[in-house]
Amino acid sequence: MKVLSKKIEKSQALLTIELEPAEVEESLDKSYNRLVKETNIPGFRKGKAPRSVLEQHIGKEGLLEDALNSLLPRVCADAIAEQKIEFIARPVIKVTQTEPVVFEATVSLPPNIKLGDYYRIKMKPEPVRLKKDDVSAVIEQLRHQCATWEPVEHPVELNDLIVIDVDSSVDGKPFIGEKGAHYQLTAGSSFPAPGFPEQLVGMKRDEEKEFELKLKDNYPDSELAGKEVLFKVKVVEVKEERLPDLNDDFAKGVAPGIETLDSLRQRISADLKKQAEEKARIDFEKQVLDTVVKKSEVEFPPILIDMEVDHMVNQQLERLRMAARDRDEYIKRLERMPEEELRNKYRPLAIDRVTNSLVLSKVAEEEKIEVSDAEIDAEVERMTQDAGDRKDEQQKLLNSPQNRGSIGQMLATRKTIQRLAEIARGSGKKNKTKKEAK
């Protein structure tokens, strides 16, 4: 065989390989000997038809295709070894000529990452500041959670909780029917149809009303999307929210260990501060990583993006399968979310993920970041601390070689990001190179 090799863009190599006629003929003979035993040809017993007859039956192109399907991968592997090419995925093969046989193999090479001087990146996290209104807002949410609902005689108002009998239909077929349903009127709610709560405002107890509303064009059930629904509603009871008084008794009932309203405010303030600090940390680390990536030169083969897109699509399809009640609903959900649309949607995110992962791997290598077995053990313990009776079972699962490898990779990524954040804050000393150490 004759091989021409050249590097092309996106960390790939293109091999142009011309086969010797003798090796093609040898592969054709092997295909003939196999196919003639599998093919029914009128007038001949299996395995007895001459090659010329088999070629007439399946076509010369069919025999050549079968021969090349087994020959080309082997020849391609030999050519890659001969050229001493390091590759990371199965080559993509394309036949460009049949007489003589010439084919091209696109080979994915290891990514090429050139880091910028990330030690020059200096940043400070945004300071965490809490407002008094933030604590008050949480307390108001707690008051609503502890509220009671008491029957009233006034007409229905927004935010009331009402008990209704509802009957509805679409094109004469039943839609929603329920007796004694509890429904809270929330402005702008689109359940069960846009405008439903507003239609009930002003109704009185025991009053009945009939009205039509249109379902959204993107309604989950495509057969009902955009159609008119005829509703018949009777108000059985109207209830109004009664908020508890803001005092120490209220505070005691909110959380264990709380005795006064002031101590509740302090607990909420501490929790909000902790949440804000965690968010600030995550935002800061993302900002640092984005800056490191922008200062780096990253080249990698497209196959890595395709693999990440495959992973993301499979995850989404699995989520759809788990959420569906049965196979029919799963198929309907798939129809509303074609796989090609999913792939196009996820591709930009996949590019970011692959790029960030490669940069972080290179930084980890430069910074000599490692994860010990003890650190993995500690993480497994942390992940299963709330598992209760299933703790041993979950630990056994997480301690499989594959899962320990994934956990180790996750910890290495976390440590690398933390290291970059330290450097950006000015608290990370630069590791010496071998030359500097000498």
Q: What is the CATH number of the domain that holds 294?
A: 1.10.3120.10
**In a shared domain, residues 175 and 53:** no
Is the peptide bond prior to 100 cis by the omega test (within 30 degrees of 0)?
A: yes
Structure tokens at 57: 């039956």
Distance of CA 380 to the CA centre of its chain: 23
Q: What is the CATH number of the domain that holds 81?
A: 3.30.70.1050
Q: Whole-angstrom Cα distance, residue 254 to residue 242?
A: 16
Q: What pTM was computed for the model?
A: 0.76
**In a shared domain, residues 237 and 305:** no
pLDDT along the chain (438 residues), means of 10: 92 94 90 86 84 86 90 94 94 92 95 95 90 90 94 94 96 94 92 94 96 92 90 97 94 90 94 94 96 96 96 90 84 81 93 97 96 96 92 94 95 96 83 49
Contacts of 10 (CB under 8 A, 6+ apart): 299, 300, 301, 302
- What distances in angstroms separate CA 103 from CA 1, 6, 15, 16, 71, one per listed residue? 11, 14, 8, 6, 11
pLDDT tens digits for range 333-344? 787 778 888 899
**In a shared domain, residues 278 and 235:** no
Contacts of 156 (CB under 8 A, 6+ apart): 162, 185, 200, 201, 202, 203, 204, 235, 238
CA neighbours within 13 Å on the CB side: how many for 335? 11
Number of domains comprising the chain: 3
Distance of CA 181 to the CA centre of its chain: 37
**In a shared domain, residues 273 and 392:** yes
